[in-house]
Amino acid sequence: MSRRVPAALPAHAESSIAFVTPRPGGYAGARGKFDSFASARGTLNSKKETPMGKREDYIGWDEYFMGVAQLSGFRSKDPNTQVGCCIVSQDNKILSMGYNGLPKGCSDEDFPWNREGDVLDETKYAYVTHAELNSILNYRGGSLEGARLYVSLFPCNECAKAIIQAGIKKVVFDSDKYEGTPENRAAKRMFDAAGVEYIPYSRTGRTVKIMI
Ligand SMILES: [Zn+2]
């Protein structure tokens, strides 16, 4: 089995873990104060407020959902590729999340994570479930019809099939590093045919940090 899958860590996954501060002024934790929400353009917990007192520099929906997707990717055990995904309802409720990993019951210690070598004994491809498929399968609430999916890497053709069949209508992706590969082109061809919109995520350039 030699199906091509993402081979390297998307650039965004190397950045800081994203976190949403619940209060504009930061808050004191048991081990210190979470007040270091620095961004390239300022701080996310600055005192900017509207006349009615509402905080102004909160993160937007797309930042929120892509941040959740990226945070999910940090759960991955894959040494080369960490992909995270977040599925959202039409009224902006998070329905499911996932990352690339092994099926339940398949130990991370017993199965291989390499990219090269014997197909069954050394490489991961036969075993790993991608973030998008995991997110779809993780959902226990019923239908995903009309939902949208945020993912840190453009879906492969196999995940595209699952996305289409689940009724998801919009894909927001960050990296498209495999653009032009057969799997990538097949995914886009199916999305186009099925009427699934795919939109590149527009990074805002803001960085948020969490101490965990
Ligand atoms: Zn996939």
Which residues of the chain register pLDDT less than 50?
1-42
The two three-digit tokens of residue 99, written as one number = 């990352």
CA 40 to ligand 1 center in whole angstroms: 32
CA 134 to ligand 1 center in whole angstroms: 9
* Model confidence pLDDT, tens digit, residues 111-131: 999 999 999 999 999 999 999
Handedness of CA 200, 72, 93, 159 (dihedral sign): positive
Give residue 47's pLDDT.
63
Catalytic amino acids? Answer: 132
CA 30 to ligand 1 center in whole angstroms: 39
Give residue 19's pLDDT.
40
Query: Cα 46 vs. chain centroid, distance in angstroms?
Result: 27
Distance (Å) of CA 44 to CA 22, 31, 33, 59, 65: 11, 21, 15, 8, 17
CA 14 to ligand 1 center in whole angstroms: 20
Give residue 46's pLDDT.
58
CA 193 to ligand 1 center in whole angstroms: 18
